[in-house]
Structure 1
Amino acid sequence: MKKLITMLCTAALVVAPMTGVSAETNQSTTIEARAEQIAAGLLQNYGVTSLQYTIMNEGKVVLSDSAGLHDKVSQKRVDKDSMYGIGSVSKMVVTTATMMLVDSGEINLDEPITSYIKDFKMADDRYTQITPRMLMNHSSGLYGTHYGNSMLFEDNDTRNHDELLSKLKNEQLKSDPGAYSVYCNDGFQLLEILVERVSGLSYSDYIAKFISQPLQLEATKTPLDSFDRDRLSETYWPTLESKMPVENANILGTGGIYSTSDELSQFGEVLMGNRPDILSESSVKAMQNPEYRQGMWVSDEQNTLNYGLGWDAVDLAPFSDYGITALAKGGDTMLYHAVLVTIPEHDISMAVLSSGGSSVYNQMFASKVLLEVLEEQGIIDEVKPDQTFTPPVKVKMPTELNAYSGLYGTVGETLNIAIKNGEMELPALLSGLIPEQNYVYTGEGHFTSDDGSVKVSFVKERNDKIYVKVQGNITLPGLGQTVMNTYDYQKLEQNALDTVTKEKWAARNNSKYYALDEKITSIFYLLPSMLIKNLSVDTENGYANGTKVMNANNAVNIAEIPVMNGRDAFDLKFYTKNNAEILIQDGQEYMAEDAITPIFGGKTGITTIPANGQARWYAIDARSANKSITVDSPANGGYAVYNEEGEMLDFSVATHQPLVKLPKRGFIVFGGNAGEVFKIQLK
């Protein structure tokens, strides 16, 4: 879910502006005190409400602590019993479960998954080549993620899990299976189904019986388990004051586990090979293998992304600078954030969980503390200071590099890169961690940012495609530095459109389409960018939202970008239903804005959820604008109000406001079960 979190991280930093962090200048002498300082900085400067962290060494907990509030109203402090969602760290659980079935001889890593999931089919014949290994190392070629109805408030509906196979039947692959690795959530959803089909148990029951019980984990649960929800550390949305309802990530294999930092560290013992009664040494080693090297990949340099089986990194920077192999898996739901870092050769691990913030912050926290642990134990001589950078010195650029100017794309967008006089402008990179800025040529094929911390180059890969390579060093006050090397964009060819197709897509440019299939309990109603699709069409080059236009009503993914930026690809398909243009993306339907009718302008009225259960959207025109609305909703129903800019003003499931003023030219959406009726009053 990391790509979704970028906006949340930015919002959190706006709500809690970064101030001077004293941790860099006021060094403490103990690991415990240093961890406390960094934790305090996260609470003060990085939008974190609470966090919990644990260090294990040689099978024993050597530090277990927490900071912040479990509950803002009562001012109750978070403690070791508080539970958190661990997001995509859950992928290590489903990977472990699969490898346990490999150990028992019930699964072969390199056997097609169609041997185990007989009803897995796709519209692309290459799907029969996908293996469990490819699901674990992100090289399956699947588009990425079906987010629909996955993140719900106080609702453990399994719809996302239950509909995945039927949605995949109509979809293509974006690459040959095994060609390269790019982050893919759906692969781990398929692993969840694989565990269920092979074991004959529900996934939750399998985890409870074969992982939680042997490890005596009493707080490691899924949304389908029964447990005291009051133990979950409370969560908050950056723009709202009240606490949020309980978040359920109903994509269990991908990101649905809850736990504590103590228990996650205990699970880390399995991943380091210390519990051969649960997972064999050969499986542990297989998971730590540098799987990313099997396909096309950004050149093997210092990085925080280098996939194993399940792992985000099997040679994590900055530990690699010291000749130490560390492994990491981070995870983000919409509200919880987590990381697990292990150093198997020295039998050390650290887990950090938080409400608010980001897994990036948690990983930097863990890395900073663990380096000091290694120094204290004499494993490294000293912790190296943060790297410093100087403004670039521009040199004469070889004229042949001008050929790299042209059209580029990534998932969701295209842009023109123009190299002029050895300089070029680029938008924000690495999911917004690097701001929009100018780059100048500094030699050896590199263009460098104004402060010298980012280098950009152009690479022609083995598939004959040209990529924009980004080597980014990110410094965050109080947390230190992290490094990311990725491909951010892919060079595209012009796609000429015939006149009819060009006119059809030109008419759609800047149009908006509104989600019909998302349950009203979905957290995405807080994040309109997930519900409202804005269509940006480049008719001259033949692309729309980064997809390649094929005909008047269809556009397909063209991005084949390893590592991270090629994730969550999609196709666009349009059709007309009841005189309304409908967009289908990732198996979900969206209705064109011009088909949305105004809500009534009188004093009272009703609206009914249609028989297909889809949401009901209404426009707010002059008759209803500036009036206050109160809604008598059915038990399973709710509504949300957005202004003209698409900003959420009220979401009844989360805010529980008795009334809200309707904004001029805004929208209101009602959701619930088929046939349910909402009684509405306007004043």
Structure 2
Amino acid sequence: MKTWRKTGVAFMAALLLAAPMTEGIGANQGAAAQAESDKSQKSLAAAEAQRMAETLIDGYGISGVQYALRSEGKIVLSGGLGIDEEGNKAPIGKDAMFGIGSISKMYVTAAAMMLADAGKVDIDAPLTDYITEFTMADERYKQITPRMLMNHSAGLYGTHYRNSTLFVDNDSEINDALLHDLRSEQLKSKPGEYSVYANDGFQLLEILVERVSGMDYSGFLAKSFSEPLKLTSTKTPLDAFDRSQMYPVRLPGIKGVLPVENMNMIGAGGLYSTAEEVTLFSEVLTGRRPDLLSEASALAMRQPDYRRGVWVDSDSNIFSYGLGWDAVSLPPFNHYGIQALAKGGDTSQYHAAYIALPEQGVSIALLTAGGNSMFNTAAASNILLAYLKETGEITDIQPNQTFEAPIQKEMPDSLNVYTGLYGTVGSTLSITLMDGKISLPHIYGLIPEQTYVYTGDGAFTGEDGRTVLSFDEQSNGHTYVRVQSILEAPGIGQVPVDIYMWQKLESHTVSDSVRQVWKERNGKTYYAVDEKIKSLEYLTPQSLIKTVQLDEGVGYANGTIIKDSSHAVNIVEIPVMMGRDSYDLAFFKENGIEYLQSGGRTFIIEEAVTPIYNGRASTATIPASGHARWFQIGKGAAGRIMMADFARSGGFAVYDGNGMPVHISAANGGHTVVLPESGLIVFGGEAGDVFKIMLKPSK
């Protein structure tokens, strides 16, 4: 069966940069925003904001941009630009709401710190003091503290995404499911050893707030922040509000406006807001509202907590974790002697960036439909620099770095020890140092495939001149490949990253019998059966499939170390970026069918995915387990019109042979589709739901 491993990743990248069409927000709001924009066009910051909005829309496939800049408590710049239903650019009003994704982490962090101010939480006490039912299979879980949740150092695998982002459905069972799932799971490191991004930590923090306060989290936010700050457009999926305020989104190939997404991991990424209201909440985070959060707590949040454990010593990195913050020393502001705090956020539909300069009393938020928070942060930085120059805080804006081709030097023989097998989440890689050169594939599509040559001081520089590799032997006993690079965002600027990308692995062998079992699985694809059919994951189905791949090193598969014929566990610790979420592999059989459990999801083997009946009429029933049912589209069904009748709780998705979505009923409500050749269909709903299927010749 054809797998979607490569095409799925490509489709995700396409979605991030796609240009979805949107409907207008309202003539009155648009007119007001245009008047405000015209009034402020004389300012340097306003001109830069307009340029950034145009660049993001024209060059990055973003369909809507909203921004606001606040100084000394007052809005000094606010505006927005989007694509209307005719495909024309039009202003976006300040009241249009966007999902702010992981900026939500700042709210749950502030909530926990507020409880600490009240003496109800000690952020360095065991988490089990506050969530008594929290337990894991790894005894080290007892060492986890609320602080470790806030600074990403708890050692958790990362994220349980199952049923977290749904159309229409605001089911919040994900928190209860998380506590259940964690009971049987391990930690990937000693708590506090290092900081690697983990959404699960902020879900646990949300539960902590509820347990300690005795209130549901949405209610706590409303009472503690929205009411005193008069935040009228900062909501959670559980709140009752006018969903038409949400900036509407379309995606290529999906008919109509997409329903509003419900990111039900509320603490980790579920809030909706506006750019102006994000900057108003910034007053709390920067200590300007001590009636809500003490200055001491705000100051504690912006300390370099990432330095408490293993960390990359760099002054040019978009990652420098505080409590909640992605960065407490965001470049390029640190090069001007200014501390900048930053948090980015991404959901399936929306992307966001928020930067605060606490000493200057300035903050900016830039929200988009489509795109990527990394680009949002770069664009927001440009606007903020223009404002600082305009107000005399800085005299000049430093130019972008330039790069030259590297000059190779003779490599010491002592570095040959670093030749070997390395792992990152999902794969392994053999790295060979030969004649002072290292050849590596592309890194997440952001850094090109290239050869790196030795340039001295233990460093290898890529052909692009902007990417440097080195080998770090860390205090935890592991050796890592460190990647320092300046990513280029044309028309926006440069984004510096400094990360551990690969971890050196030890040799590992398994018995012949175990090797044979895994060899038989090699290349087989497994399909998720426990994701609700209303999930947005069906828009990017690569997250719902897993293909087993034996790695270059004997005894490794999908970047995990094989333990026996049915289990492989995560071995990689620090390597981060897009592959930050680790997972194990566990196989089991039920009624003779093999299943895979990984990352909190259950997958069924491809042999159980049979061709859909190609006669005129048939039915498909959701079993008592509630599992979704996958079918191949065989030659007899390809090209025919399928009409499906099903209950409101049900739905289906259809994909072509490359894994691209052809029809998502939860997105457009349709029940009819022409079946593509070599494609797949998945039906989902509640246990017992019956799908009545009709196949007709296409016209």
Shorter-chain TM-score range: over 0.9
Instruction: Summarize the Cα distance change of 1:515–1:78 in structure 2 as closer, same or farther, 3 Å threshold.
Output: same
Show CA shifts across 1:214-251 (max 9, x none).
10000000000000000000123355463211111000
Match status 1:342 vs 2:377: no
Aligned letter for 1:124?
Answer: D
Q: Answer yes or no: is 1:217 the counterpart of 2:231.
A: yes
| 1:22-171 matches, cutoff 5 A | 30-69=44-83, 77-171=91-185
Residues 597, 6 of structure 1: alpha-carbon distance in 2 compared, 3 angstrom cutoff: closer
The answer on whether the counterparts of 1:620 and 1:668 sit within 8 Å (CA) in structure 2 is yes
- Aligned amino acid, residue 99 of structure 1: M
Secondary structure class of the residue paired with 2:63:
strand
Output the CA distance in 2 between the equivalents of 1:568 and 1:285.
29
1:261-340 to structure 2, matched below 5 A, reads 261-340=275-354
Show the counterpart of 1:22. Answer: none
Deviation, 1:654, is: 1.5
**Does residue 454 of structure 1 match 2:473?**
no
Which segment drifts farther, 527-536 or 199-208? 527-536
Q: Secondary structure at the match of 2:527?
A: strand
SS of aligned partner of 1:551: coil
Secondary structure, counterpart of 1:346 in structure 2:
coil
Distance 2:10 2:580 in 1: 14
The answer to whether residue 199 in structure 2 is matched with residue 176 in structure 1 is no
Q: Please say if 1:399 is aligned against 2:413.
A: yes
Identity value in percent: 50
Alignment partners' CA distance in 2, 1:72 and 1:89: 31
* 1-structure distance, mates of 2:13, 2:587: 33
Given the alignment, which residue of 586, 590, 595 partners 1:577? 590
2:400 counterpart of 1:386:
yes
1:603 corresponds in structure 2 to: 616
8 Å contact kept, 1:502–1:539:
no
Indicate which of 359, 375, 395 corresponds to 1:361. 375
| Residue 424 (structure 1) aligned to one of 427, 435, 438 | 438
- Measured at CA, do residues 143 and 191 of structure 1 come closer, stay the same or move farther in structure 2, by a change above 3 Å? same
In 1, Cα distance between the equivalents of 2:104 and 2:253? 28
Q: Does 1:246 align with 2:297?
A: no
| 1:410/1:565 contact within 8 Å kept | no
1:636 maps to which residue?
649
Q: Matches of 1:75 and 1:48 in 2, distance apart?
A: 11
Partners of 1:665 and 1:366 lie apart in 2 by 44
Report the aligned-residue RMSD.
1.9
Amino acid of the residue matched to residue 414 of structure 1?
T
In the alignment, the residues of structure 1 paired with residue 412 and residue 89 of structure 2 have an alpha-carbon distance, to the nearest angstrom, of 62
Name the structure 2 match of 1:24. Answer: none
Which residue of 2 is the match for residue 23 of structure 1? none
Greater displacement, 616-625 / 233-242: 233-242
| Aligned counterpart for 2:692 among listed residues 671, 675, 679 | 679
Residue 439 (structure 1) aligns with: 452
Give the superposition deviation at 1:653: 1.4
TM-score (structure 2 length as normaliser): 0.93
1:520 aligns with 2:533: yes
- In the other structure, the counterpart of 1:408 is 422
Shift of 1:603: 0.1
* CA 1:471–1:239: 2 relative to 1, 3 Å: farther
Native 8 Å contact 2:319 2:326 kept in 1: yes
For residue 493 of structure 1, report the CA deviation from its aligned partner.
1.3
User: Does residue 1:499 correspond to 2:512, yes or no?
Assistant: yes
- Once the two structures are TM-superposed, the CA of residue 626 in structure 1 deviates from its matched residue by 2.5
C-alpha deviations, 1:297-326, integer Å up to 9, x for none? 112331111000000000001101111100
Q: How many equivalent residue pairs?
A: 669
Deviation (angstroms), 1:643: 2.6
Amino acid corresponding to residue 573 of structure 2 in structure 1: E
Aligned counterpart, 1:510: 523
1:59-86 Cα distance to aligned partner (Å, 9 max, x none):
1100011111465689874210100000
Q: CA deviation at 1:44?
A: 0.7
Distance 1:476 1:6 in 2: 19
Give the Cα separation in 2 of the matches to 1:243 and 1:467. 45
Contact 2:17 2:370 in 1 (8 A): no
Distance 1:14 1:233, change over 3 A: closer
Unaligned runs of 5+ in 1: 17-26
Q: Is the 8 A contact 2:19 2:62 kept in 1?
A: no
User: In the alignment, is residue 191 of structure 1 matched against residue 205 of structure 2?
Assistant: yes
CA contact (8 A) 1:411 1:565 kept: no
Alignment correspondent of 2:390: 376
Distance in 2, matches of 1:436 and 1:227, equals: 48
1:597 deviates by: 2.1
> 1:497-546: CA deviations, max 9, x gaps?
10110000011111100000000000111111111111111375211110
Give the one of 470, 473, 476 matched to 1:463: 476
Residue of structure 2 equivalent to 1:627: 640
* Structure 2 equivalent of residue 661 of structure 1: 674
| Change beyond 3 A, Cα 1:239–1:411 | farther
**Matches of 1:337 and 1:93 in 2, distance apart?**
17
3-state SS in 2 of match to 1:537: coil
Structure-2 separation of matches of 1:344 and 1:540 = 49
Aligned residue type for 1:518: E
Task: Give the Cα–Cα distance (whole angstroms) in 2 for the partners of residues 298 and 72 of structure 1.
Answer: 48
The letter of the residue matching 1:443 is G
Rounded to whole Å, the distance in 2 between the matches of 1:14 and 1:566 is: 22
Contact conserved, 1:236 with 1:356, CA < 8 A, in 2? no
Contact 2:254 2:664 in 1 (8 A): no
